[in-house]
Structures are given as structure tokens and as C-alpha cells.
Amino acid sequence: MAPVDPHSYTDSAHPLTTHVSLSLYFDFPSSTIHAAALLNLSSPYTGQLSLDARSLTVHGVLDPQTLAPLPFTLSPPDAVKGSLLSVALDSHASVLILYSTSPDSSALQWLSPPQTFNKTHPFVYTQCQSIHARSVFPCQDTPAARICYSAKLNVPRELSAVMSARHSGRRDPVAGDVSEGFKKVDSAAALNFESLWCGDGRVVEEFVMEQPIPPYLFAFAVGELGSREVGPRTRVYAENVAAVLDSAASEFAGTEDMVRQGEKLFGEYPWERFDLLVLPPSFPYGGMENPRMVFLTPTVIKGDASGAQVVAHELAHSWTGNLITNINNEHFWLNEGFTRYAERRIVEVVQGEERAILSMGIGWRTLNEAMERFKDNMEFTKLKTNQEGIDPDNVYSQVPYEKGFQFLARIERQIGRPAFDEFIKKYIENFKFKSIDTDTFLEFLKANVPGIEKEVDLKLWTEGTGIPPDAYEPVSDLYTTIVSLANEFKLGRMPREDEVANWRGQEWELYLENLPKCVEASQVLALDARYRMSESKDYEVKVAFLQMAISSKCRDYYPEVEKTLKEVGRMKYLRPLYTALVQGSGNEEEKILAKRLFAEARECYHPIAQGVVESILAKHL
């Protein structure tokens, strides 16, 4: 076996999947999907085909032409990779797999009506990055295996569906949708599939993705959805609650301007539509760049359009990440470093240079914090990492984003922006719809920027630990003023109201990021008494403040910590708050609080977030 990815059973000697056809029946009462997956391979194959699976019940594997059963085995699950589904093929170029998901699927969060905005209908959505598509359908779950797909989603008639694909129709279910193969399998779930599929009160939503994408970009959401048009190629979707839809449409009204700026920088937008879906508060990330349908947390809706910077990031992924993809998670910076760079270029034009510099300043602080986090395991301060046996969710950090950004900014400073812009366009054109590694990028860089390796230490930047000495802390009058005011706080002086009169969330976030993590409780109380940060509607500001309050043992704010941890599931907020509660000594009260809060809030978090919090508690308790 020659694996192509430390997080996948995919074998380099096997043909890769080129297309997947899915029939998915959503059973909300049991939090499961009963399904058929038809996998088409790039060429016929004889031997044991290796596929990834996690928490799936496989009812049968068939030859799609004859419906003859194919021998298969499903291994006990590995803690990181899940199970190996091995199928015996004999000159087969396709395989039909009949299966059901589990309520424990690591990609799926099933929300009961009380957990949603509208409180009246259930909701389910996916988060497949980094290695969770295998818990929705058996596949070669590696970015090295790009697939096209079609999907039929059978859902309750009162609900609707969206996907990272083109919507091709909504219609009544018919018996012809269901493979005859279900009648060949000795499984109650399989035998009942046709009657379930054509049951009363059901509807089929059909989708097609005709461009090859890595499996982690497979995405859907099902619920009572509404939408608002915000541009010629953008609709904002959310649960059908007018207040949520209206605030989202207002926050993202400038999306088309960003798309056009992205096209000026990187070439024609390649995915036709750039729609947005605002998910319930449990969504574990700020955004997910699913092509044609970006998923967003409601915490980016801040009322001042600053949340559009997250949209700019996900938009930039349309070229760097979705069009060109890291071959596996060890080269994640190729996705995120490029995208952070592209995001700031878009923000610079659309929102102004000062906004871009503030973003860089916040990034500089988070990069330094990541170095502190990994001080005992510096492997994960590299851009090119070794992740054998490592769960990528547990080492997710801002290193690939911000160190990757710094690397690309260093190259830009060396050769000049016009030359670097030309290089990026050539890079995108050369590798579009391909998955590459760091060495491939470096060879392309050296071939197209002769002598760059003599001016920039490429090996130090990609394989070295820590922050290279030629990294760059941003400079501007506003940035310098904010950092200076933060330094004065250490000496006991709070900023005057006239000094912060024009500050928005980003300014306050940068200010708080530059304060000591632990101060006197009286200082915390005084700061909040003047500026009411604990009540901020901007979660970046609120969480940074609460993190300082916890570290300073200012227990007056623990009720607000509890409220925050119970109302949002974004890991950017969960990780620092739970870590602040449990790390260090002499904080038994905080550790007890952390355990209680997680026990009470756990079911409101996505499974990925549950795993991250569990790892934090396991490390410190």
C-alpha cells in the first residue's frame, strides 16, 4: 500500500474516483441518512479498492451493471482515519454502495427545532473539512482525489435544501430514483428504502456539481430556508426568519464589489454563483468556502459590514483552495496562506488600506499566540508539517493562515507587487483544478522568479519552526496608536473616550489582543465599566475581553462566559474560553465550571467542536 495522504486509506496504486452519484434519504427522527452512492473510477481496476468510511453501516456493495454483490470488508475504526472499506473488484470501473449514516457522523449536525432560529423545524448541515466527508458517504477522502457529483436529496416537503452544487430541480419522488440494488440486499433499512423514498410528504431536491472538487468541499444543508438577493450572482440564505435574513443581506450587500475585485486580481470567477448560507450559531467555523454556497456563522453579522471580511476570505478561496488545493493537510498553508493574502488584497481595495492593515495586525498577534500554543511541539509552527497519526482538527491553528500570509508577503516585498500579481495569475492558471504540495509550489516559484531562493530563504520559511526574522509586523498610524494605548494600559491608563470615539470592532479587537492576558481584577472591571465590552455584539471583542477576565480570576463575568459558551459553537471562541478556564494551577473552581458547561452545552456543538473541546479538557483535567 502506498498512501497519498496520512489521513486517508487512499492508495496511490488505485484509480481515483472521478464522479459520485448520491441518493440521500433524510430521516430526521433517527438523525440518519439512508443512501446509495455510485462511484465511477478513472479506469477499470482489479484488486482490493480502498475507501474511507466513518460511522457508516454498509448494507451491501454491488456491481452497478449486474447488481451482483461484491465482496467487501469494513475494518474496526482508527481513531483518526475511521474505517477502511475494502471492496474486491474484477475489472470494474464503478461500484454501488448501499449504506446508512450514524447519528454519530462527525460531519453532520442534526438540530432539533429548539436549537434553530425559527424554533419550529429541524435542521441538518455538513462540515466535511478536513476529513469528515467519509462520514457522509464512502469515498477516497483526500484532497488528492477531486470529484464531480450529482445528488438527489429526499427531504420532508416543508423543508428545502442547498448544496455546494447547481440546483437542478425540486420534484416529487418516483420509484425510478431508487436503485434496484436495494432489493438484492438482506437489510431491513435497504429493503424498506423504496417505500421510504416514495412516502407521503416527501420531496426530492436535485443538484449537480460539474467541476471537480476535493471531497471536503461536499456540503449540504436542509431546513426551512429563506433567501434575499444581494447581487447579480449572490443570494443570502438562512433559516426563514426575517430578522436574520435582513441583517445578513445588509451585512453582505457589498459582496459583488468583492467578487469583481477578486476577478481583477486573480482572473474570472470560476464557479458561476457565489451564494451565502448563514447557519445556526452552532456552526464551528467563521466560514466554509464550499463552492457556489459558502457557509457562514451568524457571529460574522456585526451590523457594520466588517463581517464582510470573512466573506472576502471565503471568496478568495474560490481561486486559492477550491481551484488549486493542497494535496493533503500537511500542506494546508497552500490553501489558507494564499487565501489570507488574497483576502487582504480584496479588503484593501473595497474597504481601504487601513482596514487591511488592522487585519494584518490582528493576524500578527494571533500568529505569535499560536507560537506560544505550540511551544512544546514546534512541528506545528512549520508551514510544511508531518501529521502522521495526528488528527488535523486538534492541530488546527492560525499558523498556516498567518505564517503562510507572511511568506507570500515576503516574496511580494522582494519582487514587487506588479511582478507578484503576474506570478499569482500564472500560478492559478497553471494549477487550476489540481491538488499540489509545497515542493511543487516552490519549484514553480523558482522557475518563474529566477534567483528568488537567493533572496528569500524558502526552506526556512516552509520547513523551519517559529517566525522567520524577515517576517513583517504591519505599520500604520492607527495600528501604532492602538498598540501604544494597549501598552499604556499596562501602566494603569485606560484610553480616553475621545481617543476611541471612531473605533469599531477591529480596533477594539486589536487593542484587547495587545493587552496582558492577566491583569488585576479591578482593571478588568474598570475597563468594562467604561466601554461595556462584556455586552458587545461583536464576538471577537466580547470573547477577547472574557478571556482576559477568566485569566485575571475576575469571576464577576463567569455568568457571561457561561452564556457565551452556550449560545455559540464557533471554535474560534470555544477554544480560548475553555482553555482559559482549565489551564494553569490554582483554578479548581474554573475547571469545575468548564466541565459543567461542556456537559450542558455539548449537544449544541457540532461534532468537530465537541472533539476539540474534549481534547482541551483531557489535556488539562
288 is in an annotated binding site: yes
262 is in an annotated binding site: no
CB atoms under 10 Å from CB of 440, counted, come to 15
Nearest to 203 by CA among 172, 161, 162, 174: 172
Say which residue the cell 471562541 belongs to: 573
Strands 220-223 and 160-163: antiparallel
Measured CA to CA, the distance from residue 534 to residue 513 in angstroms comes to 15
Bridge partners of 293? 275
128 is in an annotated binding site: yes
Say which residue the cell 473510477 belongs to: 41
Catalytic residue among 205, 206, 314, 348: 314
284 is in an annotated binding site: yes
Measured CA to CA, the distance from residue 458 to residue 455 in angstroms comes to 9
Nearest to 87 by CA among 99, 78, 101, 79: 99
Helix or strand or coil: residue 358?
A: helix
6 is in an annotated binding site: no
Measured CA to CA, the distance from residue 302 to residue 537 in angstroms comes to 7
Secondary structure (DSSP) of 502-548: T--HHHHHHHHHTS-SS--HHHHHHHHHHH-GGG-S-HHHHHHHHHH
19 is in an annotated binding site: no
492 is in an annotated binding site: no
287 is in an annotated binding site: yes
Is-contact 544 365, C-beta < 8 A? no
520 part of the active site? no
293 is in an annotated binding site: no
Say which residue the cell 464550499 belongs to: 290
Report CA torsion sign: 349, 355, 360, 363.
Answer: negative
User: What are the grid coordinates assigned to 101, written together?
Assistant: 449514516
336 is in an annotated binding site: yes
DSSP code for 137:
S
DSSP code for 331:
G
314 part of the active site? yes
Catalytic residue among 9, 341, 401, 531: 401
Burial of 141 (C-beta count, 10 Å sphere; 0-12/13-18/19+):
buried
289 is in an annotated binding site: yes
Binding residues for Zn(2+) are: 313, 317, 336
Binding residues are: 127-129, 284-289, 313, 317, 336, 570-572
**Catalytically active residues, by annotation:** 314, 401
Binding residues for a peptide are: 127-129, 284-289, 570-572
